[in-house]
Each structure stands twice: as C-alpha cells, then as structure tokens.
C-alpha cells in the first residue's frame, strides 16, 4: 500500500488497525496480530510509562501487562477504526490501564507492595501529564519504524551501506563540503551522490507516510497526523 | 537510528516537507557506462528525457529516466519488459535500444533519437493536406498494429508521442511505457495527466481504470485522426467530417464500448484501404483552406508533375504483377528509341546553366555536363523539368577523378530519393534514404565501384508501387514503395525543394546522358 494524503475508505483493512481487529478475535491469528502490535508499539508505551514515573523495570512490566490484559479482558473489543487514530486508541487504553495499575499499586503500597509514583504525582501543577509525553514517544516509535522500513528497502537492494552514509543527511542538511565531500566518502561522482541523497530523502518521506498511514482510520489525513507528531516533538 | 530529540524533530520536518528537495530534473543526470549525457530534452509524467550520445556507436540517443523506485524487483521487471519493447522493430516505431540502470539502480530506457518534431507541432502549424494526414495516420496505425501483434499496448497515444524523423517519416514513441510504469504514484500522475490533453485521448475504459485491450489504442487513434483533419479534438458533440467515410472511421474508433470499435488495427487499416484517396475539401485549421488536389504547392510533399490528376500519391498502393522494364538493359549505354515523349534533360541546358541552383564548378564540355570539385566536398546541380511519379530515367555517368559517389536525385510517389553508386567509400550502391536508413544500415545495398574514366549506365524505373535499378544492364535493386518513406540523404546539402539533380562527392565527373520518359501506368 502506498501512503496517501487523502482518505481512503479501504485503507484500514491493511493498516495496523487490522491488527487490532484481529487481536480481539480468538485463535492463532489473534496471537500473531497481538505479537505484532506489541512489537511495533510496546516501546512507545514503555517509554511513556517511564515518563509517567515508572522505573525502567516497572515500565517493562506495565507495557507487557497491558498487552496481556488486552487478551484477558478483551480490551480491544470496542476498537473501531472508524473512530480515528490508533495512537489515540492505544493511548487511551494504556492510560486507563496505567491508572488501574496505579490504583492497585496504591492499595498494595499501603500493604507494602510495588514502589512506584502514583499516577497523580506524575502530573504537573495544573494536573496535566507531562506535555505530549505519549505523543512524543509515539512519534519516536513511528520514526524508528519508518527508518527500519527504509533500511529494509536498501538492504533488499544490497545498498544498506549507502543508506548508512546518507542517514545523517536525511534531515535535509548537507555534509560539510557539500556533495563533493559525500561523493568522496562514497567513492562516487558528485552528481551520483546528489542523486543518491535525493532518492534516499524521497524514499524516507514515503516510508514515514507509510508508517503514519498505518495508524490512521479511514477519514484521517496523513499530512495532518504528521504535523501533529512534528508539533509533539518540537 | 533516531539519535536525539533535535534529530527527531528535523527528521519529521524533512519528512513532512519533501518539497524543498530538488525535483528529479534538477538533480544531476544519470551516469551510465558508455553514455554521455548532452542536454535535458524534457520531462513529463513518465520521467525525464535527455539527449545523450552512445560513445561506442557514436550516435545520438534519447535517454528516458523513468520515475520508479528502483528496487530490485522493480528493476527486474523493467529490465524484462524493456527487452520486450526493444523487440518492437518497425519502421514507424521509435526504437528502444536497451534498458539500463544508473549508478543508484534507477531504470533508464535508451531510445532512438529523432529530431523532426512531433505531430502536436504539425497539427498546431496546420497547412498540410488531407492526403498527407492520411499517409501519416496510416503509418501510425501500422506502428500500433505491429506493437499489438507483439502483445504490447501503447496506452498513451497522443500527438506529442508521435514524432517525425528528419525525412518526415512517422516514429511512434513511448510504446508500452504506461504498462512499464505501474507504480501507483506515477500512474496516478499519468492518469491525471497534468494536462487536459492526455485524458482527451483516453478511452472510456482507461479513464475508468478498467481492463484494457487493443480497443483502447483504437480509440486514441480515432481522436488523433479527427484532430489531424480538423485541428480539434472530438469532445462532446463534435462536428462531423465532411467526408462521410472518414467520419464513419473516426466515429467507429470512438465508440463507447471497446468491442464495438474496430476489432484491431488491421481492421482499421482495411477500412482505410477501402477509402478513396481523393478527398473532398476540408476546412483546415487556422485560415488555410485545403482544396482537392495539387493546389498547395510546397505544402504538399507530392512531387510536382505534369499530370496533376494522377499525381495524387496512392495511400495504399498494391504491388503489381511482374514488372517489365521499359528499356532492354544492355552492358553499355542504352540508346532507347528516340520517341516524342523522351525528355533529354541535357538538351538546351548549357544556355541555362548559370540559372540553375548548384554547388561546385559545373560546365558543359562536348555536350556533356561536367563537374569539378569546388572548395567543398560536395558538388550538386538541380536539373529542370522534373519527372512525375511514373517514368524511366537513364543516366550515363563517368567518374573522372576521386573515389566517391555520384548521386542521382529524383522524385517518387514516396518522396525524393537518391541512387548512389560506390558510396560511403565502402563500394556500395542502391537507393537512399529508405525509411530514414542510408545504404549502410538499410540492408538494401549491393557492391559496386566506379572505375575512373569508365562510364556506367544507370536505368531507374520509377513507378507508384516500386523502384527498380539496373546498372550496365544488370538488375541490382527492387524496392516496393508501399508503406515506405523515401528521402534525400542528409549529408548532401540539397535544397529542400530540390526534386531532380545529380552530384559528385570529392570527385570530378561527366554526365553524358540524362533522359527520362513519362509512363502512364494507370
């Protein structure tokens, strides 16, 4: 599937939303879907848990526990891709899960249980959670997945080494010494270096849009979500 | 791979706004072994086109860099399908020589380069005859028919994809590229066309993204024919053509359902064959009014002749039965019976020599036309009283010094062409150019050399359907003219309007006899 900046009514069938839909069913397919969801988004949820005050170890447990409970309590039963972004859905569900855990932990603490900050303690003076914390982690994860996708493409073409050289310049910056320096490094002509970097940037943009599109409902716009993530990390 | 929050922000910003990056055309052209890029020719939905030089063959080529992601599977597919296109070997199809991959694996098509402009330009300029339009159209349909026989659809037929070589022969380009370029993004771009013009040539099924067959190209051909004849595209309720048969052809091509159109290009060609070759007046584009025959002077490519009614070039000439030469060829100069109809070109020429267009030093010696090399390599002279389109021509020529060709230029129903003997310093002879090919590449040459001081008698039998050439009584070459485009060899700097003449390349020569006899082959 190609990323698209316009809504596509058929898209959710092939996005990560379909993993959510599969994960709420029973059977081996559901397990595979959940595993994939876990692999893709567990790091973001884990990092968010850290930002919310969990220790590294507890954050692992939280993220892992969340996905276990997804199965046990059929947490995805009400998941509806028509309602929007996977990011929003997972964030809401995970926050709810964290709150539950903190409530239980508070009870246990009183009985000498888990040592973590309370959910309320992680909020700022206005009672807000760290600004855009989950969105920032989400953005970082989406970027990781995009770069992994880009890497895979170059690996298949046998040009992974080339991408590694170009990677620092995907941001739009040029190496010191311009294309000539890059060309020297890559033992190619300046023109070839320019072409190679141009294509790497173009492919990076495609990979990023692909990954973002995977998380959106049918009426969501890729560019809009991209702008949201940029704001979150700015 | 994400390094820092700042890096993350920059990556999102870069990913969100790919716009500031250079477009493909602004970056450096591809690097390919043995290919030297000369200049950017243009760009479109399919890719970017450069004029390049094949250094090994030392010939110009067009290099089309296709949009595409260049990954391994894509590269393999392009390579495979490009080789199919490379097999499309037809006089009216722009050749795909090869599929190459540049330094970063991007696919490039190496194409034949022609510089005679395109049909869009000619339609815009107008001023050509209906007959000429039909000659071009037939060549286009033949090209598409050939591609269909190789199971290749064009899918993007339009006047800007129909090129001309310098001799005026049609070369249909971009065959099958729409099929090659299947990437979703590019295909969308192609479909949206970026110009209204592209969609105007698309069949309804193509516009609707449905399955395509040969009918889609037939539809586009109908649009092109109408536009060639009227200067307008048939859109909405369009005016009927004045010629009912042509109008029916166009409307059959443009039927909504593919199965209702001509079932194949061959069927369309047959229908064209049934169409008479004299046309009712058409109102042409701009302010030029075309009338029936022979009236546009230079706008018509047809050779001028005395019998204007029969001079109309046959669109679909059929081969004749076994030809019988008018002259009985003999080993030396033939002395045909002097008949009233014979035209001795040299007779009375001496007095008018200074008035004739020429290059080099031309004179008369003992009744013979003599040329001495001038300051330039080539010497030529335009001869008066050009023959019509069916005649016999006899020339007795002697090379006195030098080692190269003495051309005889003459008109035919398929264009002005030359016979050259002992040409290209390779000792070869024959007709050139045939379908844009000179003797070295046309495959129609025969070995022959002048021996300086020894005359050669050349007999050329010119008919609407074919040319034949005898040298010293021996039949050397027969060329069927059906579907042929003949033209003067490009190295010779003959005036464009020159129809009849002789010359010498870095040689001195004597022409003892130049006689032609009109033939009524109706």
Q: Examine the domain organization and report whether B363 and B454 are in the same domain.
A: yes
Specify if A5 maps to a domain: no
CA of A210: which chain B residue's CA is closest? B15
Please tell me the distance in Å from B192's CA to the nearest CA on chain A: 15
CA distances to B260, B279, B282, B372 from B244, in Å? 19, 10, 12, 57
Same domain, B184 and B57: no
Interface check A160 vs B, CB under 8 A: no
- The reply to whether B316 falls in a domain is no
Residue A20 resides in a domain: yes
Q: Residue A218 above 80 pLDDT?
A: no
Could you tell me which residues are beta bridge partners of residue B111?
Answer: B62, B96
- Do B106 and A234 make contact, defined as CB atoms within 8 angstroms? no
DSSP B119-177: HHHHHHH----HHHHHHHHHHHHHHHHHHHHTT---S---GGGEEE-TTS-EEE--TTH
Q: Are residues B124 and B103 in the same domain?
A: no
Q: Nearest chain A Cα to B10, which residue? A: A171
B290 part of a folded domain = yes
Binary contact (B105, A148; C-beta < 8 A): no
At which residue do the structure tokens 């859109």 appear?
Answer: B235
Residue B436 maps to a domain: yes
Indicate the number of domains in chain A: 1
Quote the pLDDT of residue B33: 83
Percent pLDDT > 90 in chain A is 4
Residues B495 and B382: beta-carbon distance below 8 Å? yes
Of B14, B105, B184, nearest to A201 by CB-CB distance is B14
Judgement on whether residues B138 and B73 belong to the same structural domain of the protein: no
Has residue A4 been placed in a domain? no
Q: What is the CATH number of the domain that holds B230?
A: 1.10.510.10
Yes or no, beta carbons of A139 and B69 under 8 Å apart? no
Measured distance CA(B263)–CA(B508) in Å, rounded: 58
Residue B295: pLDDT band with limits 50, 70, 90:
very low
Q: Are residues B221 and B363 in the same domain?
A: no
A192 within domain boundaries: yes
The CA-CA-CA angle for residues B454, B458, B463, to 5°, reads: 175
Beta bridge partners of B509: B371, B399
Domain of A36, in residue numbers: 11-233
Looking at the predicted structure, is the pLDDT value of residue B345 above 80? yes
User: What percent of chain B stands above pLDDT 70?
Assistant: 74
Contact of A195 with chain B, judged by CB distance below 8 Å, is answered with: yes
Same domain, B64 and B88: yes
**Candidates A43, A143, A151, partner chain B, best to mutate (most B CBs within 10 A):** A143
Pick the residue from chain B with its C-alpha nearest to A190: B28
Do B428 and B492 share a domain, yes or no? Answer: yes
Angle made by CA atoms A41, A44, A45, in degrees to the nearest 5? 90
Task: Indicate if B133 and B276 belong to the same structural domain.
Answer: yes
Considering the domain architecture, whether residues B135 and B28 belong to the same structural domain is answered as no
Query: Nearest-CA distance from B30 to chain A in Å?
Result: 7
Interface probe with A: pick from B1, B5, B13, B15, most Cβ of A within 10 Å = B15
Q: Is residue A2 part of a domain?
A: no
Question: How much is the average pLDDT of B446-459?
Answer: 86
Query: What is the per-residue DSSP string for B199-241?
Result: HHTS-HHHHTT----HHHHHHHHHHHHHHHHHSS---SSPPPP
Q: How confident is the model at residue B67 (pLDDT cuts 50, 70, 90)?
A: low
Cα–Cα distance measured from residue B223 to residue B337, given in angstroms and rounded to the nearest whole number:
54
DSSP bridge pairs for B447: B428
Inspect the interface and report whether the beta carbons of A194 and B28 lie closer than 8 Å: yes
Q: Are residues B214 and B84 in the same domain?
A: no
Q: Answer whether B364 touches A (CB < 8 Å).
A: no
Of A203, A230, A210, the closest CA to residue A145 belongs to A210
CA-CA distances (angstroms) from residue A212 to A35, A145, A198, A223, B204?
A: 19, 10, 21, 9, 35
Q: Verify whether the Cβ–Cβ distance B28 to A170 is below 8 Å.
A: no
Reported as a pLDDT band with limits 50, 70 and 90, residue B35 is: confident
Mean pLDDT of chain A: 74
CB pairs under 8 A between A and B: 106
Residue pLDDT, tens place only, B245-290: 899 999 999 999 999 999 999 999 988 887 654 443 333 332 222 2
B413 in a domain, yes or no? yes
Residues B160 and B104 in one domain: no
Residue A108 carries which DSSP code? H
pLDDT(B356) > 80:
yes
Q: How many CB atoms lie within 10 A of CB A61?
A: 17
Among B1, B20, B31, select the one facing A191 at the smallest CB separation: B31
Q: Mean per-residue pLDDT for B380-389? A: 84
A230 touches chain B (CB under 8 A): yes
**Residue B333 placed within a domain:** no
CATH code for the domain of B54: 3.30.200.20
Q: Is the residue at A198 inside a domain?
A: yes
Binary contact (B71, A157; C-beta < 8 A): yes
pLDDT exceeds 70 at position B88: yes
User: Is B198 contained in some domain?
Assistant: yes
Encoded tokens for B281: 């007046």
Domain boundary pick from B95, B112, B129? B112
Number of compact structural domains in chain B? 3
- Is A185 within a domain? yes
The domain containing residue B50 runs over which residues? 5-112
Q: What is the DSSP letter of A183?
A: H
For A183, the token pair is: 């060309």
Instruction: Give yes or no for a contact between B515 and B344, defined as CB atoms under 8 angstroms apart.
Output: yes
Determine the angle formed by the axes of helices B214-230 and B265-273, rounding to 10 degrees. 40
Name which of A148, A157, A204, A232 to mutate to probe chain B: the one with the most chain B Cβ atoms within 10 A of its Cβ. A157
Q: Which residue from A minimizes the CA distance to B185?
A: A2
Same domain for B108 and B125: no
Quick check: B380 and B407 in contact, CB under 8 A? Answer: yes
Maximum CA pair distance of chain B? 100
Does the residue B331 lie in any domain? no
Global ipTM: 0.76
Average pLDDT, chain B: 75
CATH number of the domain enclosing B491: 2.60.120.560
Residue B338 confidence (pLDDT): 34
Q: Is residue B429, in this structure, part of any structural domain at all?
A: yes
A189 Cβ under 8 Å from any chain B Cβ? yes
Q: What is the three-class DSSP state of B320?
A: coil
Instruction: Tell whether A159 is covered by a domain.
Output: yes
Cβ contacts of B22 on chain A, cutoff 8 Å = 194, 198
Q: Which long-range contacts (CB under 8 A, 24 or more apart) does B236-242 make?
A: B241/B282, B242/B280, B242/B281, B242/B282, B242/B283
**pLDDT, tens only, A125-149:** 444 556 577 888 888 889 999 999 9
| Least confident residue range of B48-62, B117-131, B496-510 | B48-62
Query: Buried b / exposed e across B323-354, counting CB within 10 Å, b at 16+?
Result: eeeebeeeeebbebeeeeeebebbeebeeeee
Contact A156 B72 (CB under 8 A): yes
């Amino acid at each position: 599937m190609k990323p698209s900046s316009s809504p596509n009514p058929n898209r959710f069938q092939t996005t990560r939303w379909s993993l959510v839909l599969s994960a709420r069913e029973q059977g081996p397919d559901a397990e595979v879907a959940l595993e994939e969801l876990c692999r893709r988004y567990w790091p973001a949820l884990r990092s968010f848990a850290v930002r919310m005050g969990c220790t590294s170890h507890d954050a692992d447990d939280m993220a892992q526990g969340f996905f276990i409970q997804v199965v046990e309590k059929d947490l995805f039963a009400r998941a509806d891709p028509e309602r929007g972004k996977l990011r929003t859905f997972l964030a809401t569900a995970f926050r709810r899960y964290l709150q539950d855990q903190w409530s239980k932990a508070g009870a246990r603490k009183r009985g000498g249980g888990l040592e973590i900050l309370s959910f309320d303690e992680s909020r700022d003076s206005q009672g807000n959670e760290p600004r855009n914390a989950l969105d920032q982690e989400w953005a970082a994860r989406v970027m990781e997945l995009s770069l992994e996708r880009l890497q895979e493409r170059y690996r298949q073409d046998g040009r992974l080494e080339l991408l590694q050289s170009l990677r620092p310049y995907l941001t739009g910056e040029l190496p010191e010494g311009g294309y000539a320096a890059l060309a020297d490094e890559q033992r190619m002509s300046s023109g070839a270096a320019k072409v190679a970097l141009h294509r790497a940037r173009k492919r990076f943009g495609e990979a990023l849009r692909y990954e973002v599109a995977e998380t959106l409902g049918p009426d969501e716009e890729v560019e809009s979500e991209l702008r949201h993530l940029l704001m979150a990390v700015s | 791979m994400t390094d820092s929050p700042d890096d993350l922000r920059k990556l999102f910003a870069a990913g969100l706004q790919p716009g500031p990056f250079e477009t493909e055309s602004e970056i450096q052209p591809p690097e390919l072994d043995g290919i030297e890029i000369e200049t950017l020719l243009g760009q479109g939905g399919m890719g970017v086109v450069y004029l390049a030089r094949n250094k090994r063959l030392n010939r110009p080529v067009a290099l089309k860099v296709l949009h595409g992601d260049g990954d391994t599977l894509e590269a393999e597919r392009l390579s495979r399908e490009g080789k199919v296109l490379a097999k499309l070997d037809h006089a009216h199809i722009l050749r795909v020589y090869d599929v190459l991959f540049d330094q970063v694996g991007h696919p490039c098509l190496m194409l034949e380069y022609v510089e005679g402009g395109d049909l869009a330009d000619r339609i815009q300029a107008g001023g050509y005859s209906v007959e000429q339009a039909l000659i071009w159209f037939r060549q286009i349909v033949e090209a598409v028919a050939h591609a269909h026989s190789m199971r290749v659809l064009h899918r993007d037929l339009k006047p800007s994809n129909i090129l001309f070589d310098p001799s005026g022969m049609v070369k249909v380009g971009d065959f099958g590229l729409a099929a090659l370029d299947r990437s979703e993004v590019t295909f969308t771009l192609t479909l949206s066309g970026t110009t209204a013009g592209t969609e105007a040539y698309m069949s309804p099924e193509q516009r609707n993204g449905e399955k395509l067959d040969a009918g889609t190209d037939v539809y586009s051909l109908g649009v092109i024919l109408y536009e060639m004849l009227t200067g307008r595209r048939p859109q909405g309720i369009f005016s009927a053509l004045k010629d009912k048969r042509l109008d029916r052809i166009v409307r059959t091509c443009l039927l909504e359902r593919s199965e209702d159109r001509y079932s194949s290009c061959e069927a369309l060609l047959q229908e064209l064959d049934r169409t008479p070759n004299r046309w009712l007046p058409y109102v042409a584009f701009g302010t030029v009014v075309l009338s029936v025959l022979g009236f546009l002077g230079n706008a018509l490519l047809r050779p001028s002749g005395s019998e204007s009614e029969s001079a109309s070039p046959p669109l679909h000439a059929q081969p004749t039965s076994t030809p019988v030469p008018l002259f009985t060829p003999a080993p030396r100069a033939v002395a045909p019976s002097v008949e009233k109809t014979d035209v001795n070109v040299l007779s009375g020429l001496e007095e008018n020599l200074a008035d004739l267009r020429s290059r080099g030093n031309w004179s008369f010696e003992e009744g013979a036309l003599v040329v001495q090399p001038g300051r330039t390599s080539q010497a030529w002279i335009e001869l008066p009283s050009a023959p019509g389109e069916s005649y016999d021509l006899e020339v007795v020529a002697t090379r006195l010094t030098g080692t190269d060709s003495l051309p005889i230029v003459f008109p035919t129903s398929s264009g002005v062409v030359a016979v050259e003997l002992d040409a290209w310093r390779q000792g070869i002879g024959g007709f050139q150019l045939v379908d844009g090919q000179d003797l070295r590449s046309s495959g129609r040459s025969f070995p022959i050399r002048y021996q300086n001081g020894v005359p050669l008698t050349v007999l050329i039998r010119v008919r609407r359907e074919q040319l034949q050439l005898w040298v010293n009584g021996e039949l050397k070459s027969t060329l069927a003219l059906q579907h042929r485009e003949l033209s003067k060899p490009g190295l010779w700097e003959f005036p464009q309007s020159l129809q009849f003449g002789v010359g010498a390349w870095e040689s001195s020569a004597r022409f003892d006899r130049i006689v032609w006899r009109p033939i009524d082959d109706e």
